[in-house]
C-alpha cells in the first residue's frame, strides 16, 4: 500500500478522454498494474489509464493527478471516499454524483462540476470539492448535500436547482445563480446578480460561512480574504418558485 | 512521605466512573464566550444535587476553535450517558443558545459514543432551522434574534472519572485557604480536569449517608470538622484547625494524577500540616489515587525523602 497513487500525464491530451474510472474507491483496492488497466474512453475507443498516464503507487484512496488534464472529464464521478488532488486544471463533469471524499483542483475546472450524472435527479450528495481557480457552467446543479468552494469565478447557472448543500464562490458569480434552489446555500464574495425571485432578509454574520471557510482554509490551505471570513453578508431567501428555503449570501464588503 | 515538610498521609482518594463531554463555546470575543460558559457550568458542583458536575477547563485560542473565534472549553460530567445527554440539552439550550453571538462545538470528536443535543435543540427553530455538514460533522443553524446560533449536532461522551480529591489540613484558616488557592491555580493550568466547586475548593466535605437522618444521601464529614474534635472520632492531628478539600473530575486517571500532583505540590507550604484524601474504604468507586503514588514522581524529582 502506498501513501498515495500518482497519475502523471505523459504528453498533452489532444482529444477528450473520459476518466470516470479515476475514483479513489477503486484505487484503494487495486495494484499499480490494475490501475493502469482501468478503462478510459476516448470518443468511441476504449483505452486504458496506462495509455495516457504513468502510474505510481497502489492500494491508496489518495490520488494525485499531474499534468494538464483539461481534456479529461468525469474524474471522481460517483466517488464515495478518499481524495483526489489535481495539480493543474481539469475538464468537465468532475465529481458528478459524488457521495463522499474530497476533490481539490489547484487550477480551473470545466462545466458541471459536482452536478449529477446524466439523467440523475440529484447532483453530488456528499463530500467536498475545492477549486482554487474558476469553474464552468452549471456548477453544483441539483446538488443534494456537500460543500463546494470556488476560489475564482463561475460560469452561468451555478447551484441551479440545488436541493441542499453549500457552494462558496470567491470571485464573480455567473448569470442566473441558484435558480430553483430549495434549501441550498450560495455564498458570493464577489459580484453577483441576485435573481428577482430572491427576497432580502437582513445583513448579518452567518456563523456557518465562517465555520466552512475556516475549515476549508485549514484542511485545503485555500486562500481567502480575512474580511470575507469575518465579514457581514446580505441574506436573500429563495427561490420563490420552490419551497423558498434556499439562500444567497452576498458579502457586503464590511 | 513529606513534601516541603508537609506530611502526605498514606491514604487514597476514591473516585468513580462518570461520563464526560467537552463543550467548546465560541463568541465574538472571549468575554461573551466566558459569559456563556459561566452560565453553562453554573450550579454544577456535585451530582448529588446538581445532576452534573461542570466547570471551565481552559481558554481556547481562535486557532484552535472550529470557527476561528475566541473560545472557552468546559467539561461536563454526569453519572451516565443518558443523564449527560439530558444535561447537555438543558444547559446548552439555556445558556449558549441564549447568549449573544455564541456558538457551541464538540470538544471530543474522537469519542465513538455520541450524544445529540444539537438534534434535540434544533426544534427551537420551529421549522426554520437548517443544517450544514462541514468536515463530516453536522451543525444546526437555529435562527435567533441576533442572527443564528450554530450548534454541533453530536458531542462525544467519554468515560471520565469523578471524585478525585485531596484534603489540605492546616494550622489556621488563612494558611489553609492560601494553600487551597495555590493548589487551584496550579491545577487550573492543566487540561483534561475541572474543579467543579466554588473557586475549585470545598469546605463542606461529605461522607456517604448520615449518622442520624436516614433519608440524607450525604452529610458532613465530621471526622475532618475541627469544631467536632472532642465529639466524634476525629481524623485531625492536634495542631490542625482548618481543612479544605479540592475535588476534581477528569477525562482519565493520568489527567487526575497529574493535576493532583500539581495541586498537592503547590499546597505544601508554610502553615500546612498534612495532606490527606477522602475515601469510603473502596466501596464507592474503582479508581483509587494513592497520594504517595501520585506524589512519588514529584518527590523523586525534588530528591526529598
Q: Could you report the per-residue pLDDT of B273-300, keeping only the tens digit for each? A: 999 998 887 777 889 999 999 998 655 4
CB-CB neighbors (< 8 A) of A208 in chain B: 132, 134, 139, 141, 148, 150
Same structural domain for residues A177 and A236? yes
Q: Do the Cβ atoms of A150 and A223 come closer than 8 Å?
A: no
- Please name the member of A166, A205, A214 whose beta carbon is closest to the beta carbon of B132: A166
C-alpha cell at position A139: 456548477
pLDDT beneath 50: ranges in chain B:
300-305
Rounded to the nearest angstrom, the minimum Cα separation between B229 and chain A is 59
Confidence (pLDDT) at A119? 86
Q: Do the Cβ atoms of B88 and B21 come closer than 8 Å?
A: yes
**Is residue B61 less than 8 Å (CB to CB) from chain A?**
no
Which chain B residue has the Cα nearest residue A237? B128
**Is residue A206 less than 8 Å (CB to CB) from chain B?**
yes
Same structural domain for residues A188 and A229? yes
Q: Would you call B141 and A208 a contact, using CB atoms and an 8 Å cutoff?
A: yes
Q: Which residues contact B64 (CB under 8 A, 6 or more apart)?
A: B71
Task: Count the helix, strand and coil residues of chain B and give each as a percent rounded to the nearest 5.
Answer: 30, 35, 35
This complex has an ipTM of 0.95
Cα end-to-end span (Å), chain A: 49
Q: How many domains does chain A have?
A: 2
Q: Would you call A204 and B147 a contact, using CB atoms and an 8 Å cutoff?
A: yes
Which is nearest to B251 in space by CA: B38, B21, B86, B23?
A: B21
Site of grid cell 524529582: B301
C-alpha cell at position A249: 449570501
Euclidean distance between CA atoms B200 and A160, whole angstroms: 56
Confidence (pLDDT) at B303? 44
Euclidean distance between CA atoms B15 and B162, whole angstroms: 6
Same structural domain for residues A95 and A145? yes
In a domain, A108, yes or no: yes
- All structural domains of chain B, each given as residue ranges with its CATH number in brackets, are 2-14+160-302 (3.30.70.520), 19-158 (3.30.70.520)
pLDDT beneath 50: ranges in chain A:
none
Euclidean distance between CA atoms B290 and B287, whole angstroms: 10
Coil vs helix vs strand at B165: strand
Residue B184 preceded by cis peptide, ω within 30: no
pTM of the predicted model as reported, rounded to 2 decimal places: 0.94
- Please name the member of B68, B133, B147 whose beta carbon is closest to the beta carbon of A214: B68
Same structural domain for residues A184 and A119? yes
Confidence (pLDDT) at B298? 57
Residues spanned by the domain of A229: 74-251
- Please name the member of B135, B141, B147 whose beta carbon is closest to the beta carbon of A219: B135
Site of grid cell 473557586: B199
Percent of chain A with pLDDT over 90: 95
Same structural domain for residues A30 and A81? no
Same structural domain for residues A228 and A102? yes
In a domain, A67, yes or no: no
Euclidean distance between CA atoms A178 and A245, whole angstroms: 12
CA dihedral B191, B197, B200, B205 (to 10 degrees): -120
Which chain B residue has the Cα nearest residue A203? B147
Q: Would you call B134 and A212 a contact, using CB atoms and an 8 Å cutoff?
A: yes
Same structural domain for residues A95 and A209? yes
Which of the 8 DSSP states describes residue A7?
Answer: E
In a domain, A230, yes or no: yes
Amino acid at each position: 500500500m502506498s501513501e498515495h497513487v500518482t497519475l502523471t500525464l505523459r504528453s498533452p491530451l489532444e482529444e477528450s478522454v473520459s476518466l470516470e474510472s479515476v475514483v479513489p474507491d477503486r484505487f484503494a483496492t487495486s495494484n499499480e498494474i490494475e490501475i493502469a488497466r482501468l478503462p478510459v474512453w476516448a470518443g468511441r475507443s476504449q483505452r486504458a489509464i496506462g495509455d495516457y498516464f504513468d502510474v505510481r503507487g497502489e492500494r491508496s484512496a489518495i490520488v494525485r493527478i499531474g499534468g494538464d488534464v483539461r481534456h479529461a472529464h468525469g474524474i471522481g464521478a460517483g466517488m464515495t471516499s478518499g481524495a483526489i488532488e489535481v495539480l493543474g486544471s481539469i475538464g468537465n463533469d468532475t465529481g458528478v454524483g459524488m457521495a463522499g471524499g474530497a476533490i481539490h483542483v489547484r487550477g480551473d475546472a470545466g462545466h458541471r462540476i459536482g452536478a449529477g450524472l446524466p439523467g440523475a435527479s440529484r447532483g453530488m450528495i456528499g463530500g467536498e470539492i475545492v477549486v482554487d481557480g474558476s469553474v464552468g457552467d452549471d456548477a453544483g446543479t441539483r446538488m443534494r448535500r456537500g460543500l463546494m468552494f470556488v476560489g475564482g469565478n463561475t460560469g452561468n447557472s451555478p447551484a441551479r436547482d440545488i436541493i441542499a448543500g453549500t457552494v462558496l464562490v470567491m470571485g464573480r458569480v455567473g448569470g442566473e445563480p441558484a435558480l430553483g434552489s430549495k434549501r441550498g446555500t450560495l455564498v458570493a464574495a464577489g459580484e453577483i446578480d441576485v435573481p428577482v425571485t430572491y427576497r432580502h432578509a437582513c445583513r448579518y454574520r452567518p456563523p456557518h460561512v465562517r465555520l466552512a471557510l475556516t475549515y476549508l482554509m485549514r484542511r485545503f490551505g485555500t486562500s481567502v480574504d480575512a474580511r470575507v471570513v469575518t465579514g457581514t453578508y446580505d441574506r436573500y431567501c429563495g427561490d420563490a418558485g420552490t419551497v423558498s428555503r434556499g439562500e444567497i449570501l452576498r458579502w457586503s464588503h464590511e | 512521605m513529606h513534601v516541603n515538610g508537609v506530611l502526605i498521609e498514606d491514604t487514597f482518594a476514591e473516585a468513580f466512573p462518570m461520563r464526560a463531554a467537552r463543550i467548546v463555546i465560541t463568541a465574538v470575543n472571549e468575554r461573551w464566550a466566558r459569559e456563556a460558559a459561566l452560565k453553562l457550568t453554573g450550579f454544577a458542583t456535585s451530582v448529588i444535587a446538581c445532576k452534573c458536575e461542570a466547570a471551565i477547563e481552559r481558554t481556547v485560542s481562535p486557532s484552535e476553535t472550529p470557527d476561528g473565534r475566541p473560545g472557552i472549553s468546559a467539561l461536563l460530567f454526569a453519572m451516565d450517558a443518558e443523564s449527560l445527554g439530558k444535561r447537555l440539552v438543558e444547559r446548552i439550550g439555556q445558556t449558549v443558545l441564549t447568549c449573544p453571538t455564541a456558538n457551541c462545538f464538540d470538544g471530543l470528536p474522537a469519542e465513538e459514543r455520541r450524544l445529540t443535543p444539537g438534534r434535540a435543540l434544533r426544534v427551537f427553530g420551529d421549522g426554520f432551522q437548517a443544517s450544514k455538514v462541514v468536515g463530516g460533522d453536522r451543525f444546526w443553524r437555529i435562527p435567533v434574534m441576533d442572527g443564528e446560533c450554530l450548534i454541533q449536532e453530536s458531542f462525544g461522551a467519554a468515560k471520565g472519572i469523578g471524585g478525585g480529591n485531596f484534603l489540605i489540613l492546616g494550622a489556621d484558616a488563612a494558611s489553609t485557604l492560601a494553600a487551597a488557592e495555590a493548589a487551584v491555580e496550579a491545577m487550573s493550568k492543566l487540561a483534561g480536569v475541572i474543579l467543579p466547586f466554588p473557586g475549585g475548593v470545598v469546605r463542606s466535605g461529605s461522607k456517604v449517608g448520615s449518622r442520624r437522618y436516614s433519608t440524607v444521601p450525604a452529610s458532613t464529614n465530621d471526622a475532618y470538622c475541627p469544631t467536632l474534635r472532642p465529639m466524634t472520632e476525629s481524623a485531625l492531628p492536634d495542631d490542625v484547625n482548618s481543612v479544605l478539600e479540592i475535588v476534581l473530575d477528569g477525562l482519565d486517571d493520568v489527567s487526575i494524577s497529574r493535576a493532583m500532583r500539581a495541586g498537592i505540590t503547590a499546597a505544601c507550604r508554610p502553615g500546612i500540616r498534612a495532606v490527606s484524601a477522602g475515601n469510603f474504604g473502596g466501596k464507592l468507586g474503582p479508581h483509587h489515587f494513592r497520594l504517595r503514588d501520585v506524589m512519588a514522581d514529584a518527590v523523586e524529582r525534588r530528591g526529598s525523602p
